[in-house]
Structure 1
Amino acid sequence: MSLKFSVLASGSTGNAIYVETPKRRFLIDAGLSGKKIEQLFKEARLSPESLDGILVSHEHSDHIKGVGILARRYNIPVYANEKTWDAMTPHIGAVPSAQKFIFGQESFQTFDDLDIESFVVSHDAADPMFFSFVHDGKKLTVLTDTGYVSDRMLAAAEESDALVFESNHDVGMLRMGHYPWNVKRRILGDEGHVSNEDAGMALANLVRKKKADIYLAHLSKDNNMKDLARMTVQQTLELEGVGLGEHFRLFDTDPAAPTKLREL
């Protein structure tokens, strides 16, 4: 009777997160090739044939690259809001109308034993959103691809037992790196990505209220490192008065390897 999940891949090169309950199985985004996602499922000892749906957060390539091929190959329903459907349709190929479903922003849907809530994030996409999942009193929230963390996002993530949370970049590495200034400005802006420090500040508001396992996600391959992200987030949390072990545990994610299937 448990809520389980695995971060199959997370990073600027592609994102896919698997969630299951005894009765339902969903994939949040499919931002890698169909072949690579199938390989990740195999490594995690999971099966794409069992999926009840793909939930799409927004239309950027690192979140939709494999949506069309998986939907067609395994006859999987796809859920996205109307603006995201309009934006991603030219890039994923034809999806049969019987497999196309609307999941609007700031909405709530129940699929048998799984409740899913969507909430708005601040990103340079048509209508970006992410999701919280609740089953049998356990809650998982996925929150990446946002330039800042609003009170509304924090409210959606409250009381989570596990958080897949953006820790995209180290500000110093980004500023000193090779990206052109317009790209740096986009990442640092309100519709870009959350830094390690800002992730720690936002997470402090959540884990001081309820202990949670934190999976640091969507790390930049050029402007971050796993050890640096983990150290910075931990230090920021501790400066905010919340301690490792007492209030939170930290876990890595990877752009090319799944996390162990976790049971909440």
Structure 2
Amino acid sequence: MRFSVLASGSSGNAIYVENDEHSFLVDVGLSGKKMEQLFAEIDRDMKNLSGILVTHEHSDHIKGLGVVARKYNVPIFANAKTWGAMDGLVGNIPSDLRYHFDMETVKTYGGLDIQSFAVSHDAADPMFYTFQQDGRKLVVITDTGYVSDRMKGYIAAADAYVFESNHDVSMLQMGKYPWSIKRRILSDVGHVSNEDAAVAMADVVAEKPTQIYLAHLSKDNNMKELARMSVTQTLESCGIITGEYLNLHDTDANSPTRLVTI
């Protein structure tokens, strides 16, 4: 199993996952032209995609969804409420490209098990995904206001995580956003902070080589260096030293991480 965080941040999100037989996108939050550029950078072609897995209907996750699906004839998977919420946002999607992926279910493709699980976010029915093959596990979890015990059960003991580390609380509180938006971000249906993300990480990581990609950083209320420092310090306070078995990695809003095998 291989993956790349093609882009992650407030402006757009897309994650690529493949095995030897199938390849998937989690979300298409950037323009079709930008997606083609990102795929070229990891030496892949969207015409070979097996499907697109939608997490929720916010624009930074579906901006290029309709364009990419129609141009490359790619099946789209989403739950019923998300399909309903996307009506009018992604253009006309042919019926033969519309598929349902129910909450907390598993679909299997060539030995790759994809499981959906619920998160807490202000969308119609938001859900994210785990990918498992040959005893290896990748978790994608962003856009959640907190990480519940139920979520932790789905994401525990993975080999790699794409994990939200959205904001620094002080930067957010002192920043330019209206109070209504600050309150939304800080709420249980908003986004997790650097420190809250690290506390959740400490609860789910196992003592084995683990790669964590810090994702969905706010362009106004966070910085890569700050996110890494905050997560590192909070993990250390929980008794986990980064660089031993757990390693942190940056993601970027405009360029992909290298294609990694787990």
* Pairwise same-fold verdict (TM > 0.5): yes
CA displacement, residues 115-163 of structure 1 (integer Å, 9 cap, x when unaligned): 0000000000000000000111110000000000001111111120000
Residue segments in structure 1 that go unaligned for 5+ positions in a row: none
> In the TM superposition, what are the counterparts of 1:26-41 in structure 2 within 5 Å?
26-41=24-39
Unaligned 5+ segments in structure 2 are none
**Letter of the structure 2 residue corresponding to residue 106 of structure 1:** E
Q: 2:215 aligns with which of 214, 217, 225?
A: 217
Alpha-carbon distance between aligned partners in 1 of 2:209 and 2:151, rounded to the nearest angstrom: 18
What are the residue-to-residue correspondences of 1:156-175 with 2, within 5 Å? 156-175=154-173
CA distance in 1: counterparts of 2:43 and 2:228, whole angstroms: 27
SS of the equivalent of 2:170 reads helix
Task: Give the Cα separation in 2 of the matches to 1:89 and 1:101.
Answer: 14
What is the CA–CA distance in structure 2 between the aligned matches of 1:94 and 1:37, rounded to whole Å? 20
Displacement of 1:44: 1.5
Alignment of 1:93-104 (within 5 A): 93-104=91-102
Equivalent AA in structure 1 for residue 25 of structure 2:
L
| Residue in structure 2 matched with residue 15 of structure 1 by the alignment | 13
Aligned AA (2:125)? D
Question: What letter matches 2:261 in structure 1?
Answer: E
Aligned counterpart, 1:241: 239
CA distance in 2 between counterparts of 1:208 and 1:100 reads: 37
Mapped to 1, the partners of 2:250 and 2:152 lie a distance apart of: 21
Structure 2 length-normalised TM: 0.98
Match of 2:225 among 224, 227, 232: 227
Scaled by the length of structure 1, the TM-score of the pair is 0.98
The one-letter amino acid paired with 2:83 is: W
CA RMSD of aligned residues (A): 0.8
Which of 51, 57, 67 is the aligned partner of 2:55?
57
Give the distance between the partners of 1:21 and 1:247, measured in 2 at CA. Answer: 24
Q: What's the CA shift for 1:244?
A: 1.2
Aligned residue identity for 1:18: Y
Identity %: 61
Q: Shift of the alpha carbon at 1:210? A: 4.2
| Map of 2:73 onto structure 1 | 75
Contact 1:167 1:199 in 2 (8 A): yes
Using the TM superposition, name which of 57-66 and 205-214 deviates more: 205-214
Tell me which residue corresponds to 1:145: 143
**Post-superposition offset of 1:245:** 2.1
| 1:111, distance to aligned residue in structure 2 (A) | 1.3
Q: Residues 81 and 127 of structure 1 are in contact (CA less than 8 Å); yes or no, is this contact kept in structure 2?
A: yes
Query: Using the alignment, how far apart are the partners of 2:110 and 2:125 within structure 1?
Result: 27
Number of equivalences: 262
Q: In structure 1, what is the Cα distance between the partners aligned to 2:224 and 2:33?
A: 26
